[in-house]
Amino acid sequence: MAELDSNYIENSDSVNNSNTIDTSNPIDNSKTIEDSSTSETINNSNDGDVHVCQNCETKFVGNFCPNCGQSKVDIHRPFSVLLIDLLGNVYAFDTRVLKTLKSLFLRPGEMANDYVHGRRVRYMPPFRLYVFISFIFFLLLSIYTQRNIDKNKDTVLDINNKEFLAVAKDDKDSTIATSVKYVDGKIVTSVKDATGKAKVDTSSINNPKDLKKVKDIANDPGAFVNKYLSYFSWSLFILMPVYALLLWGLFRKGQRYYLAHFIFSICQHTFAFIIFIVLLTINLIFPEKSTVYEAWLLVGIPLYSIIGSKKLYKNGWIKTLLKLFFTWFVYMFIIIFAIAIVAYILVLNM
């Protein structure tokens, strides 16, 4: 009996010793506890694969490292796997773009309302869409403007050649025809005698720097226009928040937060640029067929704002129209002021 009791005591002491944590070395104990908790987390996870982060060498289970956040995806994969992933990402991207454009065209104001209520994943980021659309718009506008400049230059040269031949034929002695024209990239007072010579009129310009700027613009108006469009495109990044501020000031009872008004402002500018892209594309392809359809397309821009504002702010039609008319009136003067400022800055920096 005594022998059994001694065996029982020895066994209980060994169990207690195995469950006792050595407090003499707290660092080792904490490391042991951490390792045991990590192994327990790994064992309890549904994903049995243990990964080692290539960035910080932390062992983890799942798709992302809990320490640095890096994905477990290995970039060293066969080309076929990369191609499948790329197609999947493109499909997901295309799906978001289609949903965004569908909401933009068919449900004005819906995107801004969804963003405020946290429904954002279904859409392409509005600001990213605006940057892409505005790039296409200003590119087409630059091409369209340059083509018109070249066309007008050729027309003016042809007209002046005909005038010169007419003057030389009718009166070869002392006929003088004076008119201000833009000929071959120069601002001239066309004083033509029998030989048809012309000289530059610089009497109204006293500053040599100003004279050089005028000559540079006259010699290459296309470069000036392209630079101006580039400056103005950047100014819209300031104008859009200003327009959103106007909306917030008049419609904040319908939407308290500025974010909704800013998203709606981006949507309105994006929609307007898409309409302009359609018009520019048609004019570039069919330059001689400007008809009534252009007016109908342009009418869509204010209609979009009216319908979207009615849906987003939930005001009556009369109140919505009055507030929007006032907003457009103020915003028009802001745009005119911005156009003048951009032109002044551009000429100043030439």
More confident residue, 333 or 288: 333
Inter-CA distances, 198 with 2, 183, 283, Å: 133, 10, 35
Note the pLDDT tens digit of each residue in 27-69.
444 444 444 444 444 444 445 578 888 788 888 888 888 888 8
pLDDT score recorded for residue 264: 92
Note the pLDDT tens digit of each residue in 137-179.
988 888 888 887 777 655 544 444 455 445 444 554 444 444 4
Q: Is the pLDDT score of 235 beyond 60?
A: yes
Q: Are 53 and 65 in contact (CB under 8 A)?
A: yes
- The token pair at 316 is 């009556």
Q: Are 92 and 84 in contact (CB under 8 A)?
A: no
Return d(Cα 162, Cα 193) in angstroms, integer.
14
Per-residue buried b or exposed e for 14-25, using 16+ beta carbons within 10 Å of the residue's own CB: eeeeeeeeeeee
Output the DSSP codes for 249-318.
Answer: HHHTTT--SHHHHHHHHHHHHHHHHHHHHHHHHHHHHSTT---THHHHHHHHHHHHHHHHHHHHH---HH
Phi first, then psi: give them for residue 341, nearest 5 degrees: -65, -45
- The token pair at 73 is 């995806």
From the list 120, 105, 106, 100, the residue with the least C-alpha distance to 260 is 120
What's the rounded mean pLDDT across residues 186-202? Answer: 44
Output the DSSP codes for 208-256.
Answer: HHHHHHHHHHHH-HHHHHHHHHHHHHHHHHHHHHHHHHHHHHHHTTT--
The one-letter amino acid code at 225 reads V
Note the pLDDT tens digit of each residue in 298-323.
889 999 999 999 988 988 899 999 99
Q: 3-state SS of the chain: helix, strand, coil percent to 5?
A: 70, 5, 25
CB-neighbour burial class of residue 289 (10 A; exposed 0-12, middle 13-18, buried 19+): exposed
More confident residue, 209 or 50: 50
pLDDT score recorded for residue 4: 44
Residue keyed to tokens 């790039």: 135
What does the mean pLDDT of the chain come to? 72
**Quick one: angle between helices 258-285 and 79-106, nearest 10?**
100
Kindly state the DSSP code that residue 165 receives in the 8-state scheme.
Answer: H
Return d(Cα 144, Cα 222) in angstroms, integer.
11
The one-letter amino acid code at 309 reads S
Return d(Cα 258, Cα 256) in angstroms, integer.
7
Q: Is the pLDDT score of 237 beyond 80?
A: yes
Q: Is the pLDDT score of 193 beyond 50?
A: no
